[in-house]
Structure 1
Amino acid sequence: MTNWDNARFFLAVARTGTLRGAAARLGVDQATVGRRIAALEEALSARLFLRTPTMYVLTSAGEALMGPAEAIEQAVHQIERRIVGMDDQLCGTVRVATTDSLGKRFVVPAIAKVRALHPGIDVVCVTSPNMANLTRREADIAIRTLRPESPDLIVRRLAQLETGLYASRAYLAARGEPREGEAFEGHDLVMYQRAVVPSMWDALCGEPTHRGNVAFQTSSTMMLFEAAICGLGVTELPCFRADSEPELVRVMRKRLDRFDVWLVAHADLYKTARVQAFIDIVAREFEAAV
């Protein structure tokens, strides 16, 4: 591969299947991607993709190139992480990945304090239900509820938070409160889609759901809250956020569950001054809440 940078163009097309998708991922125009792929194929004297009407499909040569190209990508990311990790200045950008709920209650207040104490630090907050890949520098820090297993990552538990059962005041006035041990008989339920949170379809905070009527499904935490607030049914919500909603009432208080919140950072970046400054402040934000 005469130009190492061609590896990222090749991988982007292989992963998205189209020049347009690769261009969007790389932040360049579609013609540039096409030229780089053509140049790579010419340099290697091999056809790497079959051009179909709908997508680019790897040939045997393309499949053989995937492993080496990913090794190049990993080496480049490692160089970036190690160089960035040598920075001892309280300035620069910190990219933080988290969820909407954790972001609203904990991360954004922490960012405000970081900016007040260290105005040279800029923070990019990426909120998504999908986990950011720290090895690929999609984020410097992730704050999430699933603990990763990768040995390249440093993991710290920030807090253990509680979930409870909630319904709107209007719903309870019209339908009454669900009672423990009745498996939500006679009540509507607001749920994540089964593929998103399968366990919710068996029980909410330990209360079986098989007698309840699933009236609303979503993949979004924000929509789960809005559906409950609008009176569509009973659901399980994190208490740190639901207790602050005036329209929501906690029911069956003995029914509860708990979940851990983890801070995750790549080992190469963990001791960077700006990353440490952010970690210290966000950790105190969680400690103050529990």
Structure 2
Amino acid sequence: MLDWDDLRFFLAIARLRSLSAAARELRVTQSTVGRRLASLESGLGARLLHRTPEGYVPTLAGEAIMGQAERVEAELLAVERTVGGRDAQLEGVVRVTAVETLASHVLVRCAVALQIGSPEVALELVADVRHLSLAMREADIAVRLAPFEGHDLVVRRIGSLAYGLYASPAYLERHGEPDFGAGCAGHRLVASLDGAEAPQLAAWVAEIAPRATVALRTDSPGAQLRAALCGAGIACLARLRGDAFGTQLRRLDAPQVQSAAVGIWLAVHKDNRRTPRIRLVLDAVAAAFRDRADELDPPGRRGSGGPSSGACRG
């Protein structure tokens, strides 16, 4: 008889393509992941995953059962959500996922306030550009800088985050003031990797600095900030990061718009929104962003040339 847990381990390896990544996702040791896969393959009498230089990939047998395994997973998670949604205890763990800028600058303080007021509720904060699935219970609550998709989610916009272009005085001394009318020719950019935190901003930067050379790409906003401080180039940073460095960084005056803003979106699975501990954290997160609205998107931000945030739904 098949063990659902074995199927769960198979799916994690197939999706993440490595034993170590699956182990981190499932919060077990790598040896446990390997053992559970071996148990499933032995029970079925077939090899399900093949190890390649690029990672684990499904065999023909693995591909054949992938869809069925995912349907079993979805049904079992629906059962868990139904039961969890009726949990009346204001205690337990709530996992929140958000991009690093929002996690470090807003949600950490929110977690501290929650611990003071409701110590029986523990917060797990996952700062990651990956979109963890609320439907698959990878997280209970998500905060993102782009609208969510999915009819099973309850979504609302809880604010906006302003960005600007920054450079260090040392960089500007070497390269001169950027000429946005000339597309910033002769200048260097510290860019986000695949628009990591807010993909909408890549088009904005490309429009106002099309002739600049990309000196560095990174998926870390902290690394972008440090690179700009070191004089590596012009970086598009959240203003709550860049403005905090005073004379060490200068926000540049781009034509027509000094800064752009993107929406901040909060989401929860519809089956979980009334679970008391999740409801408590949802309200606390929304209040935290509301209380810091002026810091996240300073009043008087000039222009409307920034990327669109879309409409609220849910």
Q: TM-score of the superposition, structure 2-length normalised?
A: 0.80
Residue 258 of structure 1 deviates from its aligned partner by 1.5
The residue aligned with 2:251 is 250
Secondary structure of residue in 2 paired with 1:244: helix
1:165 aligns with 2:165: yes
Secondary structure of the corresponding residue to residue 4 of structure 2: coil
CA deviations on 1:189-214 (whole Å, 9 max, x unpaired) are 2212457577766542851x233232
Between the aligned partners of 1:229 and 1:36, the Cα distance in structure 2 is: 52
Deviation at 1:172, TM superposition (A): 2.8
> CA separation of 1:205/1:120 partners in 2, compared to 1, >3 Å: closer, same or farther?
farther
Check conservation: 2:9, 2:37, Cα contact below 8 A: no
**How many Å separate the matches in 2 of 1:205 and 1:273?**
44
Distance in 1 separating the partners of 2:108 and 2:265: 16
Secondary structure of the corresponding residue to residue 94 of structure 1: strand
Cα deviation, residue 17, structure 1: 5.1
Is 1:37 paired with 2:36?
Answer: no
Cα 1:33–1:222 shift into 2, 3 Å: same
**Does residue 191 of the first structure (1) align with residue 191 of the second (2)?**
yes
Q: Which residue matches 1:220?
A: 220
Matching residue's letter, 1:152: D
Per the alignment, residue 280 of structure 1 pairs with 283
TM-score under structure 1 length normalisation: 0.86
Which of the pair has more CA radius of gyration? 1
Q: Which residue of 2 aligns with 1:129?
A: 129
* Cα shift at 1:185: 2.6
2:84 maps to which residue? 84
What letter corresponds to residue 250 of structure 2 in structure 1? V
Opposite residue 94 of structure 1, the aligned amino acid is V
Richer in helix (by share): 2
Cα deviation digits, residues 149-194 of structure 1 (max 9, x gap): 2011111111022111111132234433324423113322221245
1:230 Cα deviation after fit:
1.1
Structure 1 equivalent of residue 116 of structure 2: 116
CA 1:284 to 1:50, structure 2 compared with 1: closer, same or farther past 3 Å? closer
User: In the alignment, is the contact (CA less than 8 A) between 2:13 and 2:19 conserved in 1?
Assistant: yes
Does residue 258 of structure 2 align to residue 259 of structure 1? no
Q: Is contact 2:50-2:58 (8 Å) kept?
A: no
SS in 2 for 1:155: strand
Aligned to 1:72: 72
CA contact (8 A) 2:6 2:36 kept: no
Asked if the contact 2:10/2:37 (under 8 Å) is kept, the reply is: no
Task: Determine whether 1:100 maps to 2:100.
Answer: yes
Letter in 1 for 2:289: F
SS at match of 2:107: helix
The percentage of aligned residue pairs carrying the same residue is 34
Structure 2 portions without partners, runs of 5+: 294-314
Q: CA deviation at 1:136?
A: 1.2
Q: Secondary structure at the match of 1:181?
A: helix
Deviation for aligned residue 1:15:
3.4
Indicate the larger mover: 49-58 or 177-186. Answer: 49-58
Aligned pair in 2 of structure 1 residues 19, 166: CA closer, same or farther (>3 Å)? closer
Paired residues in the alignment total 285
1:9·1:36 contact (CA, 8 Å) conserved in 2?
no
Give ranges in structure 1 of 5+ residues lacking alignment. Answer: none
Distance 1:199 1:145 in 2: 9
